[in-house]
Amino acid sequence: MSRLHIIDHPMVQHKLSIMRDVRTGSKDFRELLKEISLLMGYEITRDLPLENVEIETPMKHMTARVISGKKLAIVPILRAGLGMVDGLLTLLPVAKVGHIGLYRDETTHEPVSYYCKMPFDIDQRMVIVTDPMLATGGSSSDAITMLKNMGCTNIRLMCLVAAPEGVKRVQKDHPDVDIYVAALDEELNSDAYILPGLGDAGDRIFGTK
Ligand code: PRP
Ligand code: URA
């Protein structure tokens, strides 16, 4: 069973509460999402392997520790997942970025795929899939399936707010994929929006409503 990690650090919780507030506009929403993504990235990379290298400090020789050549990729689910890329890239500047375009059909709430572009060696990379909202879980689950079909074997999912339904769906479909969230909310409404949630993440990031 994949593990659910809830990042309950006070700074993450504080920033998320401002994002949830209906009075918060797109500029602040975007900035806060970037900041939270960096902070969550710190946890998501906590277990990256280290190796020893020999260096000279200005004082003496030492054996120092560096990340051991682990290749990473960040894969946002368009559109809203884009809002989490810059924060992660600040932390992981050499990561490659792939894109998966999915939108939810308004009636069926099923994801519809419209774009996919990956680094050529995606199957050799640890992949962090980003999407602020894990609602029914259909979009994240489909994105992970697409990556597995391309040969990826090491995938983590990073969301901001999750509904229990979405967590259950991803855990059932992808028991090998750990999920990182800042909050596990109460439920979905009849339009499959998360309650209390933060509304439509894509619209709030890009000001399209
Ligand atoms: C939203 C959100 C997720 C998806 C979550 O995207 O960004 O991708 O819905 O819902 P699910 O877990 O039920 O699949 P949306 O379809 O609104 O597209 P957008 O990001 O382009 O606005
Ligand atoms: N997509 C969003 O942007 N928000 C939700 O609450 C559910 C799906």
Average pLDDT of adjacent 10-residue blocks, the chain of 209 residues: 93 98 98 98 94 98 91 97 98 96 95 97 97 98 98 98 98 98 98 98 95
Residue 176 catalytic?
no
Question: What pLDDT shows up at residue 169?
Answer: 98
The rounded Å distance from CA 105 to ligand 2 centre is 12
Angle between the 10-20 and 26-44 helix axes, to the nearest 10 degrees? Answer: 150
Provide the total of helices (H) and of strands (E) in the chain, helices listed first.
6, 15
- Cα(75)–Cα(147) distance, integer angstroms: 9
Out of 86, 123, 173, 200, which one is annotated catalytic?
Answer: 200
Question: What pLDDT shows up at residue 59?
Answer: 98
Residue 131 catalytic?
no
Tell me, using a 6 A CB cutoff, whether residue 193 lines ligand 2. Answer: yes
For residue 180, what are the contacts with CB-CB under 8 A and spacing of at least 6? 5, 7, 40, 43, 44, 156, 157, 158, 159
Residues paired with 181 in a beta bridge: 6
Tell me, using a 6 A CB cutoff, whether residue 156 lines ligand 1. Answer: no
Out of 90, 108, 153, 208, which one is annotated catalytic?
Answer: 108
Question: What pLDDT shows up at residue 112?
Answer: 97
Cα three-residue angle 50-6-123, rounded to 5 degrees = 50
Question: What pLDDT shows up at residue 184?
Answer: 98
Residue 108 catalytic?
yes
Q: How far is CA 77 from CA 143, 189, 191, in A?
A: 7, 22, 20
- Cα(209)–Cα(206) distance, integer angstroms: 9
